[in-house]
């Protein structure tokens, strides 16, 4: 049976929710993100703001220069999550196989649902109509025989679009598109392909698989398959997260190593709490530093899985020592990945205090759940809280 996979992607989600809830913003450029006088980034931009060149992840200062008359709003994640739950509930009415990709997009496997909802294209139109009627928002969608094609299709006719890729037309659908549309082709890979005379997917289709494999290794074989629209991955509902992390952009570039360490400790404790709340332990820690010119460096290390904030911090601190910041830092970020189930007391083989800290962390989590965040914090973070206060 040919699969029918839809990718449903909300249009300018954060900004659209704000325009819906604030009628005075209808038709106006809306930018959701950091304070325009600060140094953060754009989280979302309405289509009216995009006309001026504003894009997600752009420095907020640049967005303010491009579109000074926009309405700048802070991120209201609690509200967006509530709307996301409503959207995902609508999708679940059409299939038990819904795979959220983020708060504003998801894959839906409509294979075999014809007796209930008619042909898959008709089902997708019903999904879009319900989102418009119940959430008062628009969504773009792609419908195809697999996830890769559905994702590509959903991006082509935004906002409020629907693009269908019929089975058997996968290669011809992809051929005229720029090669950057293929998963895994970023700036570096695109430049390497450009050196081979490849700028469109159709040109990539004409490169023998053996040539791509010889030039690009295993990734070359994957590119060859995707160029013809081959993707066998199933829609997997409620997939465990692959990583958890935290970042902080400083108000002014920070050259104080002690402040970097304190910020890192706070991030490690926050991520450790999220790991414990989700029932995970992390085997890999990654540190990210970004300088004022946006030059970014990362380092990672893998060790025994843990959900202990102090242990995570010690690993990140070792990475900071390896990076040795050469100038003031704009952003510092910490993430934990390679997640799996916790092995209680596993670190006790290497550190006698590990089990005691696990019990202490569990007690702190209970206090936090009862009295709120910040009830108990490491002593090293008290001065940081006082500075902010």
> From the CB of residue 289, how many other CB atoms can be counted at a distance below 10 Å?
21
Residue ranges of E strands in the chain: 5-10, 30-33, 42-45, 71-73, 98-102, 105-109, 139-144, 162-164, 243-254, 281-291, 296-306, 329-340
Token pair in block for residue 196? 């081979």
Q: Are 276 and 365 in contact (CB under 8 A)?
A: yes
Q: By the 8 A CB rule, do 293 and 340 touch?
A: no
- The DSSP call for residue 3 is -
Which CA distances in Å does 262 have to 259, 266, 313, 324, 361? 5, 6, 10, 16, 19
Active site residue 157: no
* Cβ–Cβ < 8 Å for 337, 303: no
Closest CA to 39 of 68, 60, 55, 65: 60
Annotated catalytic residue within 18, 105, 170, 269: 105
Cis peptide before 369 (omega within 30 of 0): no
Residues classed as catalytic? 105
């Amino acid at each position: 049976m040919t699969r029918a996979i839809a990718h449903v992607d909300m249009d300018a989600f954060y900004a659209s929710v704000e325009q819906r809830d604030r009628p005075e913003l209808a038709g106006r450029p809306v930018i959701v993100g950091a304070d325009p006088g600060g140094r953060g980034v754009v989280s979302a931009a309405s289509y009216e703001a995009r006309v001026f060149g504003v894009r997600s992840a752009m420095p907020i200062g640049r967005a303010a220069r491009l579109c000074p008359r926009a309405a700048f709003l802070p991120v209201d994640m609690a509200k967006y999550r509530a709307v996301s739950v409503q959207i995902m509930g609508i999708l679940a009415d059409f299939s038990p196989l819904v795979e959220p990709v983020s708060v504003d997009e998801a894959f839906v496997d409509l294979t075999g649902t014809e007796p209930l909802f008619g042909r898959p294209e008709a089902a997708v139109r019903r999904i879009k109509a319900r989102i418009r009627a119940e959430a008062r928002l628009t969504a773009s969608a792609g419908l195809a025989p697999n996830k890769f094609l559905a994702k590509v299709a959903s991006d082509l006719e935004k906002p409020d679009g629907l693009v269908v890729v019929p089975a058997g037309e996968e290669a011809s659908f992809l051929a005229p598109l720029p090669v950057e549309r293929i998963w895994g082709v970023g700036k570096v890979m695109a430049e390497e392909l450009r050196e081979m005379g490849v700028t469109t997917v159709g040109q990539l289709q004409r490169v023998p698989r053996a040539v791509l494999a010889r030039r690009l290794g295993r990734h070359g074989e994957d590119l060859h398959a995707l160029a013809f629209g081959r993707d066998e991955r199933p829609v997997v509902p409620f997939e465990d997260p692959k990583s958890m992390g935290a970042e902080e952009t400083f108000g002014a570039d920070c050259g104080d190593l002690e402040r970097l360490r304190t910020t890192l400790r706070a991030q490690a404790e926050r991520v450790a709490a999220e790991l414990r709340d989700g029932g995970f332990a992390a085997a890999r820690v990654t540190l990210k530093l970004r300088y004022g010119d946006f030059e970014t460096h990362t380092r990672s290390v893998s060790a025994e899985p843990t959900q202990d904030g102090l242990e995570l911090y010690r690993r990140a601190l070792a990475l900071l020592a390896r990076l040795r910041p050469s100038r003031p830092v704009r952003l510092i970020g910490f993430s934990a990945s390679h997640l799996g189930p916790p092995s209680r007391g596993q670190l006790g083989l290497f550190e006698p205090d590990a089990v005691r800290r696990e019990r202490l962390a569990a007690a702190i989590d209970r206090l936090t759940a009862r009295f709120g965040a910040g009830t108990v914090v490491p002593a090293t973070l008290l001065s940081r809280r006082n500075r902010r206060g």
